Copies of this chain bind each other. A is one copy, B any other.
């Protein structure tokens, strides 16, 4: 299982410093949506420049204009880009085609997407399907339970990621369960007093 760490709601200067400090320490660094919306796609290049040993996911959360947004995201240095499962099938298809053409990866964010919609978007074989619990929701996430239920319902999905308030204990349980390709941890790492140490702790925990 890979560890993805999300940087969000900080200044670009702080984001670049954090990317530098975390470079090589985990599998994937996520440049959060807030950084894109605050600073724009051009800022991807500043993160990319210091991130020499870790994959870069840009959380574009594309929901329309799929080809345009994905071309921009890859052009400026993203390895993995996100599109909303809530987008139209045609938008998802446009994103997928750009990702395949560029030899890059598409992640489908399943935030607020129901099973009927998921059934309609299962033919993106190489896409990563991300179970995502909104940061604005007041209820909490049963991580392993959600992954198990998803896998049982959609066994044809090969690549699963999960995000939404995941802590160390949940990350360990997900690793033990063996169904998740990427666990995404945001504030539990980046808002900790020493992110570089916390990320090591998570990496050790999930690779036991």
**Digit string of A101-119 for contact with B (CB within 8 Å is 1, else 0)?**
0000000000110000000
Q: Check if A65 sits within 8 Å of B34, measured CB to CB.
A: yes
Cross-chain contact of A42 among B39, B64, B134 (Cβ < 8 A): B39
For the complex formed, measure the closest distance between the CB of A172 and the CB atoms of chain B, giving whole angstroms. Answer: 26
**Digit string of A45-77 for contact with B (CB within 8 Å is 1, else 0)?**
000000000000000110111111100100000
Cross-chain contact of A63 among B39, B72, B84, B138 (Cβ < 8 A): B84
* A160 contacts the other chain (CB 8 A): no
Closest to A60 in B: B37
Interface-facing stretch out of A17-25, A88-96, A141-149: A88-96
Q: Check if B136 sits within 8 Å of A66, measured CB to CB.
A: yes
Q: Check if B134 sits within 8 Å of A111, measured CB to CB.
A: no
On whether A111 and B136 interact (CB within 8 A), knowing A34-B65, A37-B37, the answer reads no
Which residues on B sit within 8 Å (CB–CB) of A61? 61, 63-64
The interface of chain A, by Cβ under 8 A from chain B, is 8-9, 33-34, 36-43, 60-61, 63-69, 72, 84, 86-88, 90-91, 93-94, 111-112, 134-138
